[in-house]
Amino acid sequence: MKLPRRVPWANINELDQLCSWVFMDEGDLEAKQFAINRLSAWRAVTALPHALESTLSILAARLIDTSETQQNPFWLSVRQNYAAAIIRMVNGLVDPLQAGAYARSIASIAAQLGLPSWLVELRHSATHEDLPSLEMLREAARESLTWLLHNYFLPTINPSAPRPSTAPPLRPVTPLLKQYKTLSKIIARDASLRKQNQPDIDAIMRDIERWLAEAKLAADFAADAYGWGTIDDNDVEQEDFREKWALERLCDALLEKGALVSLSQKRRNLPSDEFVPHHSSLVLWTPLLAHTHTYHPTFPSVLTTRIVENLLYDQPNTEFDMDVVLLEADESRNDPSYHLALAKWAAWVIKAYDNGQENGELSLRKNLILQLASTLAPGKTQGAKKIDVLAALLGAVSSGFTELQKASDMLLSTTHPLQPHHWDAGDLTVMNERLHSLMSLDDECQKYTNDSESAPTTSLPPAQSSNMGGWRLLDHHSGWKSCPIGVYYPSHALSTA
């Protein structure tokens, strides 16, 4: 459950009134003073979100500029006030998003936020180069307030209104994976080239980590859930959502043909005594998987979940041309070797990263078995796809664990329909033995009731039991025909004498 977030305003109308003071009339200095006073009062009570803190700094710089322009000869102090306000606004927006293992450029993060690039350049100039002119700083202040209006005030005042996405689309990660695979193949074929190519592989791994950082920010725009409070308050639940969304996009790219699963069906079908991917695929991809797991501990769980979902459901990638998507989806449905290869990767990930310590959560192994159980449960396998692959995966991950093996055997026993039973003389012998046992038990009960003074008057007569002749097989000469349960059929066609 998401915890409540503390805000400085008592109700949303106060924030709405503040917004009108700031943006209604640019020349209304009295309204700007009201806004500064309210923001200062809020800051005395609680910490302000970065957007409001930046608004206060820019308003204070503009008020000083407007009221003292005619008589204040110290233009440098006004320019410094503007520059400090803009520098703090840009840094406060970008720094919380530098959460990846490797640093990203401020320009790339600002581009994802939809922040004008020239504000980033002005921030760099004001910090490291000559202080920009007063006219440029004034324009930067106006542009900053406009950006805050559309990206903070309006979405906060009216959360239900659709927020225009100013972020660029997330760049694909597939080209990075292809570069990694190419270099890994070179090293796998000739180990002497490792020292020469390892720096390039390390660089690609860093680029993939930077891509994950970009994807975490894009997760907010994808779910229309980007909120200033979640960044300012370091919301753990929101951070987990971003992390999972980014890892899912990476896993989807890894599960495409040509990545973890080889394009060549011959390589997938190579014989193996264990339910694991082929050795050549492990050599290529395990370094990248281990590197990702080092910085993202939930990566194995997300990867196994996406593999199972891929086996249970058909989820084409919508980033490509729709005709190509439909064609690839049809090919995937009719490619058992691809599904088997994915199942082997899921089994390998569990074997490699499931340490058995659950820490309040399901282990990788148990979580995967629960996912499979919902499909392999009795009565649910008729419409399910890839039953043989799912059954093989279930058997592989439960092997060696007694309790899990018992549960898996029960599920696997229901994956195939029961075959019709062919009756023979041996079956009749067993059934007649059971019948005689029941008859002898009934005779003993009858004798006991007859000897008892309180024998019930509705007891079964002994003669009725003696007339029971046992079981016999009926063939086509007997005239017996099968009929649904509950349908009346003449007594001479019954299977008992």
Scanning 223-335, the segments in alpha helix (DSSP H) are: 228-232, 236-254, 265-268, 279-295, 299-312, 322-333
Token pair in block for residue 127: 């910090």
Lowest mean pLDDT among 19-33, 55-69, 157-171: 157-171
> What is the pLDDT, as a whole number, of residue 487?
67
Q: Confidence class of residue 392 from pLDDT cuts 50, 70 and 90?
A: confident
Q: Would you say residue 310 has pLDDT above 50? A: yes
- What does each C-alpha distance from 310 to 50, 51, 298, 393, 492 come to in angstroms? 41, 41, 18, 13, 56
Q: Would you say residue 355 has pLDDT above 80? A: no
Determine contact, residues 200/183, Cβ cutoff 8 Å.
Answer: yes
Helices 134-148 and 75-94: crossing angle, nearest 10°? 40
Token pair in block for residue 345: 């990767």
**Residues 414-441: tens digit of each pLDDT:** 655 545 566 677 777 888 888 777 777 7
Determine contact, residues 210/98, Cβ cutoff 8 Å.
Answer: no
Residue with the larger pLDDT of the pair 252 and 424: 252
Q: Would you say residue 289 has pLDDT above 90? A: yes
- Which of the listed ranges 176-180, 320-324, 330-334, 427-431 does the model predict with the highest average pLDDT? 176-180
Q: Would you say residue 361 has pLDDT above 80? A: no
Q: Confidence class of residue 175 from pLDDT cuts 50, 70 and 90?
A: very high
Determine contact, residues 365/354, Cβ cutoff 8 Å.
Answer: yes
> What is the pLDDT, as a whole number, of residue 457?
47
Residue with the larger pLDDT of the pair 170 and 225: 170
Q: Would you say residue 455 has pLDDT above 70? A: no
**Residues 264-274: tens digit of each pLDDT:** 777 776 666 67
Q: Would you say residue 16 has pLDDT above 60? A: yes
Q: Confidence class of residue 57 from pLDDT cuts 50, 70 and 90?
A: very high
Q: How far apart are CA 334 and CA 330, in angstroms?
A: 7
Residue 278 CB-density burial (10 A; 0-12 exposed, 13-18 middle, 19+ buried): middle
Q: Would you say residue 360 has pLDDT above 50? A: no
- Measured from the Cβ of residue 341, the count of other Cβ atoms closer than 10 Å reads 23
What 3-state class would DSSP assign to 496? Answer: strand
Q: Confidence class of residue 158 from pLDDT cuts 50, 70 and 90?
A: confident
> What is the pLDDT, as a whole number, of residue 365?
82
> What is the pLDDT, as a whole number, of residue 315?
53
Q: Confidence class of residue 233 from pLDDT cuts 50, 70 and 90?
A: very low
Q: Confidence class of residue 460 from pLDDT cuts 50, 70 and 90?
A: very low
> What is the pLDDT, as a whole number, of residue 252?
92
Q: How far apart are CA 470 and CA 435, in angstroms?
A: 7
What is the residue-averaged pLDDT of the chain? 76
**Residues 81-139: tens digit of each pLDDT:** 889 999 999 988 888 777 666 677 788 788 878 888 888 888 888 888 888 888 899 89
Q: Which long-range contacts (CB under 8 A, 24 or more apart) does 32-36 make?
A: 32/59, 32/62, 32/63, 33/63, 35/59, 36/60, 36/63
Q: Would you say residue 182 has pLDDT above 80? A: yes
The domain spans of the chain are: 12-157, 169-254, 264-417
Token pair in block for residue 173: 């990660």
Q: How far apart are CA 333 and CA 331, in angstroms?
A: 5
Q: Confidence class of residue 170 from pLDDT cuts 50, 70 and 90?
A: confident
With CA atoms as reference, report the closest residue to 217 among 160, 167, 162: 167
Stretch 303-313: mean pLDDT, rounded?
87
Percent of the chain with pLDDT strictly greater than 70: 69
Lowest mean pLDDT among 8-12, 141-145, 453-457: 453-457
Residue with the larger pLDDT of the pair 79 and 492: 79
Token pair in block for residue 463: 């003669």
**Which phi and psi angles does 341 have, rounded to 5°?**
-65, -40
Q: Confidence class of residue 230 from pLDDT cuts 50, 70 and 90?
A: very low
> What is the pLDDT, as a whole number, of residue 178?
93
> What is the pLDDT, as a whole number, of residue 72?
54
Token pair in block for residue 212: 């994950």
Residue with the larger pLDDT of the pair 7 and 422: 7
Residue with the larger pLDDT of the pair 79 and 315: 79
- What does each C-alpha distance from 382 to 169, 307, 376, 464 come to in angstroms? 41, 21, 9, 46
**Which phi and psi angles does 163 have, rounded to 5°?**
-95, 125
In the beta sheet, which residues pair with residue 257? 261
> What is the pLDDT, as a whole number, of residue 288?
93
Q: What is the pTM of this model?
A: 0.63
Q: Would you say residue 209 has pLDDT above 60? A: yes
